[in-house]
Structure 1
Amino acid sequence: MTSSKDNGSTSSARAAEAMADRAGLAVVCVECQNGVIGPESVLPALAAETHAVVSDIARLVTAARGAGIPVVHATFEGFVVGGRPGKAPLWRALNGAGADRWQPGDPATQVVTELFDPADIVLGRRQGLSPTRGTELLPVLRSMGIHTIVLAGVSVNVALPLTAADASEDGFRVVVARDAVTGSPAEYARQALRHTIAMLADIVTVDDLTAAWAAPAVRA
């Protein structure tokens, strides 16, 4: 008898193998920036959970770069002058911790060192909780010929479900590397992956992706 764990591993491997053709792929790291997952995070509980997966995100982006797959960082850079946050309770927590004072170029808005390469693309937004709504992220990816997005980063509480839903509705295939994302608390993150993210995206592992990208590229 095959266990559900075995079925999940097989499903991940098959989904990753389908991406052995690197054309049209991009890895999108969401809010992997100092002010979110770094030591001075405005969300310290989330930063503490993320600490355990930074090495896996690093493995993912390193493998992508080695396979010629672009790495894109979607960051939050604070509000434009006169801009206003939304009404969500999360904004009260973020602004109370100083996120309302962020500006482009501030250390808090910079991608954490372990995950950044000068060849990466950084697309900062200056409004909203969603990395996709009203931003240039999806239009830029489409202009690059991208049709499949591998999501990593934070968090499965808010930003990642919003991104996965918007991207899939806009015609992109969305893949989530389960060990390169997290949320807070950890048990909720596991449940969100299983019961929400899995309805919006294919769930794979970093190991399966790196193995697929290490193999010779598939040519059409």
Structure 2
Amino acid sequence: MGRVAVLVMEMQRGVVGDLTKFPDLVDACSRHDVLGNAGRVLGAARRAGLPVVHCTAAFRPDRAGSHAGNCPFIVSLLKDPAHMLEGTAAMEVVPGLRDGGDLESRRYHGFSPFTGTSLDTTLRSLGVSDVVALGVSLNLGIPGLALEAVNLGYRVTVVTDAVAGIPEEYARAVMKHTVSLLATRTTAAGLVEAWK
């Protein structure tokens, strides 16, 4: 295994935190201690000197760069003109998951963190060849992250107890039938032990 970076997908206050529009996703995260497991992985990664990159999503007030009409889910989100606006509290990473040395890669369109962002360039500049993915959701973001990373030549590991999706039966099916074809799967405890 080469140099590892941890990619934290959309663990933002407006997605899985106190300002969410997705209460079912927050409930799924709570049932499986996703935030707690994510925090343990991030702490172990930082102690091991591994880069942590928060992959965040945002909209500009004028929607520039967001391809606002090309996807039914985005169209539904944008019915609320204040949803996930740049510079608002909803954009912030959930308290307790962000550290001063962490990096951020923000996107204004789509569902995965590589296309149209500098994430690939950032990772390559750090000598990263392997990425560990955690966050939300197993519906779109995590499979998109894994697929793009594999297409770019990275080896991918998904932290099975630090991800969530809804409905939960579907999330389990995505993990079994999609993620397993793209990525190694491990638990937070397994990574914490490996990175001691």
Structure-2 residue corresponding to 1:218 = none
1:9 equivalent in structure 2: none
Q: Identify which of 35, 43, 46 aligns with 2:14.
A: 35
Alpha-carbon distance change, 160 to 101 in structure 1, aligned in 2, over 3 angstroms: closer
1:92 is aligned to 75
Aligned length: 192
Structure 2 stretches lacking a partner, 5+ long: none
From the superposition, tell whether residues 86 and 158 of structure 1 become closer, same or farther in structure 2 (CA, over 3 Å): farther
1:25-61: CA deviations, max 9, x gaps? 1010000001100122122221221233110011110
Q: Taking structure 1 as the reference length, what is the TM-score of the superposition?
A: 0.82
2:34 alignment counterpart: 53
SS at match of 2:96: helix
- The one-letter code sitting in structure 2 at the alignment partner of 1:186 is E
RMSD (CA atoms):
1.7
Q: Distance in 1 between matches of 2:82 and 2:123?
A: 27
* Residues 82, 99 of structure 1: alpha-carbon distance in 2 compared, 3 angstrom cutoff: closer
How high is the sequence identity, in percent, across the aligned residues? 38
User: 151, 171, 175: which is aligned to 1:189?
Assistant: 171
The aligned counterpart of 1:70 is 51
Residue equivalent to 1:171: 153
Q: Do the aligned partners of residues 82 and 113 (structure 1) sit closer, same or farther apart at CA in structure 2, a change above 3 Å counting? A: closer
Structure 1: distance between partners of 2:189 and 2:50? 16
Q: Which residue of 1 aligns with 2:113?
A: 131
Instruction: From the superposition, tell whether residues 101 and 49 of structure 1 become closer, same or farther in structure 2 (CA, over 3 Å).
Output: closer
**How far apart, CA to CA, are the structure 2 residues paired with 1:200 and 1:99?**
35
Shift in CA distance, 43/97, structure 1 to aligned 2, threshold 3 Å: farther
- State the partner residue of 2:90: 108
CA distance in 1, matches of 2:84, 2:133: 27
Structure 2 CA distance for partners of 1:183 and 1:98, relative to 1, 3 Å: farther
Q: Name 1:159's counterpart in structure 2.
A: 141
Distance, in Å, in 2 between the alignment partners of 1:156 and 1:82 is 25
- Structure 1 position 135, deviation (Å): 1.3
- More displaced, 168-177 or 47-56? 47-56
Distance 2:195 2:82 in 1: 37
- SS in structure 2 at match of 1:147: strand
Q: Which residue of the other structure, out of 19, 23, 26, is the alignment partner of 1:44?
A: 23
- Any conservation in 1 of the 2:84–2:91 contact (CA below 8 Å)? no
Displacement after TM superposition at 1:93 (Å): 2.8
Give the TM-score of the pair, scaled to structure 2: 0.91
Q: SS of 2:131's equivalent?
A: strand
**Displacement, 1:128?**
2.1
Q: Whose helix fraction is larger, Structure 1's or Structure 2's?
A: 1
The structure whose Rg is larger is 1
How far apart are 1:145 and its partner, in Å? 0.7
